[in-house]
Structure formats: structure tokens, C-alpha cells
A and B are shown apart, each in its own frame.
Chain A
């Protein structure tokens, strides 16, 4: 049952992770700028260059928050280690990709490896609960689905990082709802991990929202995506997470199906959007351009960058409400 001490433990991990991420983001930004690790903010009329790879701050915040969680509340060390191992491997792949870009085919395969801590430590239950279906036994198949889940989620979140604050804003909404669900379900350890993710993403959002001062890079996006997948597996809320991630799935699925293969943004010649002279962004009318979520949002006419991000956050809010409803339906089915 949910009690004051559980809530206090969740709040403590939130506070530590938020503080560490908030302090380290500008510091890492300065280091990246000094080393020339910068990227162009393409949706601005003027030439603006921002430090890349600042998602390292999310990784630093999450790692310290998780270590504190193990230190103060040693009840579920195995699950916490599996969570952090997955996030660190995905983050490491992100670091490699930021420094030396990986091909579109190699990256999903490498991110799938991030599932190893969960598989090796056996911190999964191969009996997921599905709404209207109840608990299903997938003893043999479930371990094969874990790498797929990690790869899809981390790359889906990565593909959403196209505008200032679009990744941190949308993941922030999802992780708040997921943490609340985990708290209500009584899984306090997973809720603490979720609270760490909420804190890291929200602290980072302060710097990455429009007009951004830092870029997350694949270091941040892949680790955050892997963290969401790991939370879903450890907290046994797989279906809830799929529903919450509908905008991310929509973005990745349409992008891939319209291009017909795995692709990297830099490989695409026909851009899905174009920057107009007044600073607004419009959807491309080219048939061969990828159909991304940004392009779908802009189908009715041009918008300013922060308006598009607010639109993405609105759609994520809707999917999160549907995810909470899904959890309710699943609970009702159990009774």
C-alpha cells in the first residue's frame, strides 16, 4: 500500500536527480562547446549553433539518483541495477553515435543489446498483463521481445528529437503518468526509478525548450528511450507504455513506412518540412519526403516551432490519458 515513507522516498530520488541534472546540463554544455561538439539549430532563420551531446547530463543525473536509491533503499537492488545497466548501455551507444555517426541499420541492432542487464539478471516477468486478455504466459517468447522493445522505444524517442524540447517535453508527460501508475500499483521501487526519469527529463527540458540552449544528442534520447522500455518491463506495464508512446510510434512508423527503409535524418534529401522566411515551419508537399509527426501536424498550414512542440505535447497528453484508461481497464479485468 502507498504510505508516507514510500512517497518520501520517491520525492527524495526526484529531488536528487533533478538537482544533479539541472546543475550538470549547462556545465556539460560549456565543455561540449569548448571541444567544438556543436550542431546547427536548423529550424531558426539565423545561424545558431548549440552544444551537442548534453543528454549526458540526463545520464549523470539518473546514475547518481539511482545509486542513491540503492544506497538509501536497498530492497530491490537487482531491478535497480538492471534498469541502470540498460540506460547506461543505451547511453554509451548514444555517445558513440554522437561522436562517430552509426548507420541506420546498425543503431537499432546495437540498442537492442542494452536489454542484456534485464535478461542476464532475470528481472522480468514473462507473464505480461494485457487489457481484456488478462495475464498471458509467454515464457519462451517474452525474452525475445525484450530487445525489440528496447530498440523500438529508444529509437522511437530518438526520432522524436527534432524540435527544441520535443523529446524532453513529450517524455516528461509520459514518465509523470507512468510513475503515478507505478506508485498507485504499489511498485515503489519502479516508481522511484520513474521519479528519477521524470526529474532528469524535466530538469533537462528547462534548457532544451524553445529557444534551446543545448541539444540532447543521441546520448540523451537513446538512454531516455531505453529507460522508458526498462520501466515498462520492470513495472509490468508494457501495454500502458505502448499506448502512452502512440505519438512516438506514429512518428517513427510513418517516417519509416513512407521512406520504405530504416533511415538517418542526414541521409534524407527531401526534407519533411521547410523553414519559411517569416520563421514559421511548413510541411513539404513532396510525395517522396518522409511523413513524420511534425509534417502531419503542419498539414493544415505553417506554425511556429514552439507551437508545433506544444502540439506534440498535446497529442502525448491525449495518449497518456488513454494509457491511464488502459491501466484502469486492465485493473478492472483483474477484479
Chain B
């Protein structure tokens, strides 16, 4: 399980960014209000809210992918060089 600790760390990081994202959504997306006078305004408001929230979620996924990519390819390179060294010996 010790080998999985970096991945557990990534999970905690991703969760923290998710919470931060919800905070951002509440401060940015849910302050948008085009008015409640008609159904069209309500649809427009909700669509814009979802779009802004969607962009924040995409940024969250991008950060998640970058962090995991960095860990994965570094770990692969390390394990391959260790295997090569031990076979040379």
C-alpha cells in the first residue's frame, strides 16, 4: 500500500480542488442573474450558470490530468531505469 500513497495524495488534492471549484462556482456562476420576469430569462440564466460551472469543472479535470500525468510518466521512467540498472548488474 506504500506504493499507492502518492495516488492517495492525488485523490486528496483533486478533492480539495473540487471544493475550491464549488466555492468559485458559488462566487462566480451563481451570482449571475438575468432576471426572473419570464421563462426565457430563467432559461438564459440557468444556461449561463451551467456554462460557467462547466468551464470551472473542465479546468478541474485539466489540473487533475496534469498532476496524474506528471506522476505517472515520472514513475514509469524511474521504474524502468531501476529495472535496467538491476539487469546490468
- Seen from chain A, the residues whose Cβ lies within 8 Å of a Cβ on chain B are 130-134, 136, 138-141, 239, 242-243, 246-247, 250, 253-254, 257, 283, 285, 291, 295-297, 299-301, 310-311, 314-315, 318-319, 322, 326, 329
Contacts and interface: CB of A to CB of B under 8 A. Distances in A.
A246 B11 contact: yes
Q: Is the interface of A mostly helix, strand, loop or mixed?
A: helix
Interface of B: 1, 3-4, 7-8, 11-12, 14-15, 18-19, 22-23, 25-26, 30, 42-43, 46-47, 49-50, 61, 64-65, 68-69, 71-72, 75-76, 78-80, 82-83
A283 B75 CA distance: 11
A27 to B, nearest CB: 36
A295 B80 CA distance: 14
A138 B45 CA distance: 10
List of 4 A-B pairs having minimum Cβ-Cβ separation, nearest first? A299-B75, A133-B26, A322-B15, A318-B8
A295 B79 CA distance: 13
A326 to B, nearest CB: 8
18 contacts: A130-B25, A130-B26, A132-B26, A134-B26, A141-B50, A253-B64, A254-B65, A254-B68, A257-B65, A291-B69, A291-B72, A296-B71, A301-B79, A314-B1, A314-B4, A314-B8, A318-B12, A322-B12
B4 A283 contact: no
A311 B80 contact: no
B72 A141 contact: no
A250 B68 contact: yes
A132 B42 contact: no
A297 B22 contact: no
A132 B12 contact: no
Contacts of B11: 246-247, 250, 315, 318-319, 322
Contacts of A257: 65
A300 B3 contact: yes
A300 B50 contact: no
Contacts, number: 94
A295 B68 CA distance: 12
B30 A133 contact: yes
Given A300-B79, A311-B4, A130 B22 contact: yes
A291 B75 CA distance: 13
Contacts of B79: 283, 299-301
A315 B8 contact: yes
Contact of A243 (B18, B43, B78): B18
B3 to A, nearest CB: 5
Most chain A CB within 10 A, of B7, B64, B80, is at B7
Contact of B46 (A131, A138, A247): A138
B86 to A, nearest CB: 11
A159 to B, nearest CB: 16
Contact of A300 (B18, B46, B64, B75): B75
Contacts of B65: 253-254, 257
Nearest to A296: B72
A285 B80 contact: yes
B12 A140 contact: no
Contacts of B82: 301
Contacts of A136: 30
Contacts of B12: 318, 322
Given A140-B43, A141-B49, 13 more contacts: A140-B42, A141-B46, A141-B50, A254-B68, A257-B65, A295-B72, A296-B7, A299-B72, A299-B75, A301-B83, A315-B11, A318-B11, A318-B12
A132 B17 CA distance: 13
A246 B80 contact: no
A253 B66 CA distance: 12
